[in-house]
């Protein structure tokens, strides 16, 4: 089985960015239901399982911030508690406060690094919500003015290619310097 290239697009009236993913068959199997044989992919990521793609940007005392491997938009992040919790009501006050502080930092970084114009923030809770991982996690999805479709590319707009690994590195630098921001009460 070979690899596939996947393209996602975003931009505004002046530019169009096409992001190119190398999409391998293992990831395809994951999204189509044949997931790694682990109880919880987030716990495995937290525990450093080398078979799990690790996109962790930051780890605090209580939570982690990770890029979503299957983003809805460029810069799609997730915040999850380090403890395996399947109910939002089981999140402790300390974990919740820490999560909120991380959320604020994520919004700041995504606004500055990706020029996001808006965000969708929230949890999918319960079997009927669309959640694919039982370990609770909060999504932070940047939104961009004039998010575009593939037809705009065909119409001949300028295209820039953004490598997802470059995207990860760009964010990682910001999170590597997050301690001073996050330590302020």
- Rounded to an integer, what distance in angstroms lies between the CA atom of residue 176 and that of residue 72? 24
**Smallest distance, Å, CB 104 to Zn ion?**
24
Sheet holding 16-23, edge to edge: 4-11, 16-23, 159-162
Q: Should residue 91 be labelled a site residue for Zn ion when binding is judged by CB under 5 A?
A: no
- Rounded to an integer, what distance in angstroms lies between the CA atom of residue 158 and that of residue 83? 45
Q: Which helix (H) or strand (E) holds 19?
A: strand 16-23
Interaction pattern, residues 105-144, with Zn ion; x per rule: CB under 5 A: ------------------------------x---------
- Rounded to an integer, what distance in angstroms lies between the CA atom of residue 179 and that of residue 176? 7
Q: Should residue 174 be labelled a site residue for Zn ion when binding is judged by CB under 5 A?
A: no
Q: Should residue 19 be labelled a site residue for Zn ion when binding is judged by CB under 5 A?
A: no
**Smallest distance, Å, CB 78 to Zn ion?**
12
- Rounded to an integer, what distance in angstroms lies between the CA atom of residue 21 and that of residue 13? 24
Cβ contact 19:72 at 8 Å = no
In 24-100, beta strands by DSSP E? 56-59, 63-67, 77-81
Stretch that binds Zn ion, among 37-45, 55-63, 69-77, 170-178 (CB under 5 A): 37-45
- CB closer to Zn ion, 101 vs 135: 135
- CB closer to Zn ion, 39 vs 61: 39
- CB closer to Zn ion, 85 vs 159: 85
- CB closer to Zn ion, 19 vs 135: 135
* Out of 9, 18, 42, 67, the residue judged to bind Zn ion by CB under 5 A: 42
Q: Should residue 84 be labelled a site residue for Zn ion when binding is judged by CB under 5 A?
A: yes
137 an active-site residue? yes
Rounded to 5 degrees, what are φ and ψ at 134? -70, -30
Active site residues: 137
């Amino acid at each position: 089985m070979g690899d596939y290239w996947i393209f996602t697009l975003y931009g505004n009236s002046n530019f169009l960015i096409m992001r190119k993913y190398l999409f391998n068959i293992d990831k395809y199997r994951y999204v189509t239901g044949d997931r790694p044989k682990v109880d919880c992919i987030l716990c495995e990521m937290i525990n450093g399982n080398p078979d799990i793609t690790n996109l962790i940007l930051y780890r605090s005392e209580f939570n982690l911030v990770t890029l979503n491997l299957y983003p809805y938009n460029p810069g799609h992040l997730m915040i999850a508690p380090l403890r395996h919790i399947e109910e939002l009501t089981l999140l402790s006050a300390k974990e919740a406060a820490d999560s909120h502080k991380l959320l604020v930092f994520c919004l700041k970084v995504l606004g500055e690094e990706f020029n996001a114009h808006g965000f969708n923030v929230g949890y999918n809770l319960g079997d009927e919500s669309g959640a694919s991982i039982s370990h609770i996690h909060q999504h932070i999805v940047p939104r961009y003015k004039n998010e575009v479709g593939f037809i705009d590319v065909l119409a001949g707009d300028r295209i820039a290619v953004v490598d997802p690994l470059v995207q990860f590195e760009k964010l990682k630098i910001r999170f590597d310097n997050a301690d001073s921001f996050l330590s302020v009460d």
